[in-house]
Amino acid sequence: MIKKILIANRGEIACRVIKTAKKMGIATVAVYSDADANALHVKMADEAVHIGPAPSSQSYIVIDKILEAIQKTGADAVHPGYGFLSENAAFAQALEKAGVVFIGPPVGAIEAMGDKITSKKLAAKAGVSTVPGHMGLIEDADEAVKIASQIGYPVMIKASAGGGGKGMRIAFNEAEAREGFQSSKNEAKSSFGDDRIFIEKFVTQPRHIEIQVLGDKHGTILYLGERECSIQRRNQKVIEEAPSPFLDEATRHAMGEQAVALARAVGYHSAGTVEFIVDGERNFYFLEMNTRLQVEHPVTELVTGIDLVEQMIRVASGEKLSLAQGDVKLNGWAIESRLYAEDPYRNFLPSIGRLTRYRPPGEGAQDSGTVIRNDTGVFEGGEISMYYDPMIAKLCSWGKDRETAIDAMGEALDRFEVEGIGHNLPFLSAVMQHERFRSGRLTTGFIAEEFPEGFSGIEPDETAARKLSAIAAIVNQRLQSRAVEISGTIGNHRRIVGHDWVVSFGAFRHGISVETVADGTAVRFEDGMALTIDTGWRPGQSLGLFTVAGEVIAAKVDLAGAAVRLRWRGMDILARVRSPRVAELALLMPEKLPPDTSKLLLCPMPGVITGISVGEGEEVEAGQALATVEAMKMENILRAEKRGRVVRVAAKPGDSLAVDEVILEFE
């Protein structure tokens, strides 16, 4: 058995591997860059080795530095995690030459499946259904446009060595094909050091469903069910679940058998994933094979009870799988939500900074019979760096059926506290409440179709608004009651706490009175409706549990000046609780308008300017590319919203800009 594992990765996956290794009594070694000196995976490991500067190209993906760390610590095995060197055949070969166990598949499988062009040819040869496309290399944008026209739009432009949504674009016309080819090529080169591109047909009404495979070195290969990964944005998975609400048993079996056939064709062992695109008629087409552990592996673990990292370690040690295909059972339902450092209110652009608050919900079995799991690599007070993937955590829920798992996820998201950076918690909460998601009518276009103008929060309906008004009134009442007990808060007269208030936010305005009743507090609305509220919330608590008319609501509570900010289920409101007279006068106040920034191009996120496409005095048209900003390994092209003339270029390539710094100024 392996004695010491070096994890050639960072973040939550490194922490995940360390947990299983410790459970198995195996020592662990972490590697870290300058930016990760105080990272969680460094603290968790038995040993840690510094391997270079913050950029991954100078640290985590430099094979020689990993080999030096192995030699220094005496590790006899390496777990590559996912990303970085996990699918690098040269790395696996270097480990083999050094006599170090690679906890992953054989080199031949990595080479064959890591190259998407080769993998498609092998898949077709193994009898696996494949998507129509051009498997040869494409030299330039003109050739890309020609090939795309032959296949028929829409097409998917993909990096051959890509993964994780990097180097991937969808084109619906010639202009998008030309631009997408160049962007994919640039992204692929910076992320993988390989700018080869191929094009294939983009399947309409597509679902992204993948099969988890697991094999040993003795010829046994199993499939462990599927994962539905259709909720995506920019080709990056956001929410995954197991099993899929769409597959029937026959399709599941057929996909599983084809996945196993492909794995067998390349002599695969260890954990791996075969990804398929499935259309509305349950026709499925091979997409790619990831020869590594996947980000979304926890949902498979939750429904099968199999620790995939443990199995990878045992397989790498030469052990036979203790399971047969008939032993694999799918029990219940699991959901995974990826918590990203991306601001949903700014088109999901990356956000960096310090986690001033990070309080995940309690893990393990819950009173409701559900299970909560949170895989993370961060901690309160830690820094979110611009150099790496923006993932903060992977929150998972398990329930006896899909509806139970979704409800458990919704509650867990409500109780998850993250402050200091922009993050997508409100968006994830909104999806959990979305009727289309709850009904299982998913496609990879879900986000684009349901949030075409981006995410601006969820507007409460009348029922939700009354609940939030009642909570705001109780919060205000307790704040007022505390203020009365503190001398000097208001001088010269005795402070009396009223019972009649007007709560206003957005389009809602509720006249209410707060009354004490036998089972707690009642909030009575001016139309006679009353809601009973019971809560242990006290001033200063950022998360409050409120039982409103028998429903437990976990709401995040903040004070924003004189207003009460409440966040719940993707809703984010600023409630002003005023006395009736003050509320009457407030209606007469003029509304303050935001500053006019229509003549400025502002940096939408912290990042590096990699290109300015226009100069001073130049006329620009609506939709024209103006500048390119790169952050967290993603390239973002900024375009003109309308016709205009550039009067000032305030930034140049190579500049690091903060959010809302000026790039261009227009006439």
What is the total count of domains within the chain? 6
Per-residue pLDDT for 284 more than 90?
yes
Residue 114 inside a domain? The answer is no
Question: Prior bond to 106 cis, omega within 30?
Answer: no
Placement of tokens 């057929």 in the chain: 254
Q: Which of 58, 59, 57 minimizes the C-alpha distance to 49? A: 59
Give the tens place of pLDDT for each residue, 382-401: 999 888 888 999 999 999 99
The answer to whether the Cα torsion of 416, 421, 422, 423 is positive or negative is negative
Task: Classify residue 593: in a domain, yes or no.
Answer: no
Q: Do 470 and 578 have their domain in common?
A: yes
Pairwise CA distance, residues 458 & 451, whole Å? 11
**Residues 466, 568: one domain?**
yes
Q: Is residue 592 part of a domain?
A: no
Using CA atoms, how far residue 665 sits from 256, 347, 598, 607, 626, in Å, is: 55, 22, 9, 19, 11
393 in the same domain as 432:
yes
Q: What's the confidence (pLDDT) of residue 165?
A: 66
Q: Which of 18, 130, 35 is nearest to 386 (CA)?
A: 35
Residues of the domain holding 641: 600-666
Contact 223, 256 (CB under 8 A): yes
Q: Residue 557: which CATH number? A: 3.30.700.30
Higher pLDDT pick, 213 / 499:
213
Task: Say if residue 149 is in the same domain as residue 228.
Answer: no
**Using one digit for the tens of pLDDT, what is the confidence trace for 607-657?**
889 999 999 999 999 889 999 998 766 778 899 988 999 999 999 999 988
pLDDT class of 130 with cuts at 50, 70, 90: confident
Cβ neighbours of 484 (radius 10 Å): 13
> 292, 80 in Cβ contact below 8 A?
yes
Q: Which of 331, 352, 381 is the last residue of a domain?
A: 331
Q: What is the pLDDT of residues 476-514, one digit of tens each?
A: 999 988 888 877 766 655 677 888 999 999 999 999 999
CATH label of the domain that carries residue 315? 3.30.470.20
Return the beta strands (E) in 119-174 as ranges: 133-134, 155-163, 166-171
What pLDDT does residue 297 have? 98
Q: Which residues contact 250 (CB under 8 A, 6 or more apart)?
A: none
Q: Are residues 31 and 98 in the same domain?
A: yes
The residue among 556, 587, 618 that closes a domain is 587
CATH number for 191: 3.30.1490.20
Contacts of 328 (CB under 8 A, 6+ apart): 222, 223, 224, 225, 304, 306
Separation between Cα atoms, residue 523 and residue 474, nearest integer Å: 8
**Domain end call among 426, 448, 470:** 448
Strands of 569-643 (E only): list them: 571-578, 600-602, 607-612, 619-620, 625-631, 634-639
Closest CA to 410 of 437, 389, 391: 437
pLDDT at 533: 94
Query: Does residue 658 lie within any of the structural domains?
Result: yes
Query: Which of the four pLDDT bands, split at 50, 70 and 90, describes residue 295?
Result: very high
Do 582 and 540 have their domain in common? yes
Burial of 276 (0-12, 13-18, 19+ CB in 10 A): buried
Q: Of 536, 534, 567, whose CA–CA distance to 548 is shortest? A: 534
In the chain, the percentage of residues whose pLDDT exceeds 70 is: 98
Phi and psi torsions of 90, nearest 5°: -60, -35
The answer to whether 444 touches 464, Cβ cutoff 8 Å, is no
Residue 516 reports pLDDT greater than 90: no
CATH number at residue 56: 3.40.50.20
Q: Are residues 290 and 342 in the same domain?
A: no
The DSSP code for 575 is: E
Nearest residue to 375 via CA among 473, 284, 300: 300
Q: What 3-state class would DSSP assign to 130?
A: strand
* Within-domain flag for 344: yes
Whether residues 163 and 220 share a domain: the answer is no
Residue 661 neighbours by CB under 8 Å, 6+ apart: 602, 603, 650, 651
Task: Report which secondary-structure segment, H or E, holds 397.
Answer: strand 391-399
Beta bridge partners of 31: 49
Pairwise pLDDT comparison (470 vs 132), residue with the higher score: 470
pLDDT value, residue 162: 67
Please report, rounded to a whole number, the percentage of residues in the chain having pLDDT higher than 90. Answer: 74
378 pLDDT more than 80: yes
The two structure tokens encoding residue 115: 């190259």
**Per-residue pLDDT at 493:** 58
pLDDT in tens, 135-179: 677 888 999 999 999 888 889 898 877 666 677 888 999 999 999
Give yes or no for residue 303 having a pLDDT over 70: yes
Q: What is the mean pLDDT of residues 598-607?
A: 88
Q: Averaged over 200-216, what is the pLDDT?
A: 92
pLDDT tens digits for range 327-377: 999 999 999 999 999 989 888 888 888 999 999 999 999 999 999 999 999
- Contact between 431 and 230 under an 8 Å Cβ cutoff? The reply is no
457 in any annotated domain: no
| Per-position b or e across 343-360, b if 16+ CB within 10 A of its CB | bbebebbbbbeebeebeb
Give the residue from 643, 647, 646, 664 showing the smallest Cα distance to 655.
Answer: 664
CATH number of the structural domain spanning residue 654? 2.40.50.100
Residues 6+ apart with CB under 8 A from 46: 27, 28, 29
* pLDDT (tens digit per residue) in 246-274: 999 999 999 999 999 999 999 999 999 99
What is the spatial distance between Cα 131 and Cα 120, in angstroms, rounded to a whole number?
A: 9
Same domain, yes or no: 327 and 346: no
- Check whether residue 244 and residue 178 sit in a common domain: no
Mean pLDDT (the chain) is 92
The answer to the question of residue 113 being in a domain is: no
Judge if 306 and 212 occupy the same domain.
Answer: yes
Active site residue 12: no
Contact status, residue 622 vs residue 643, Cβ threshold 8 Å: yes
| Residue 126 included in any domain | no
If asked whether residues 373 and 415 sit together in one domain, one would say yes
Which residues of 18-132 form beta strands (DSSP E)?
27-33, 47-52, 77-79, 101-102
pLDDT for position 635: 79
State the catalytic residue, choosing from 176, 240, 275, 288. Answer: 288
**The tokens of 62 are what?**
């430099």
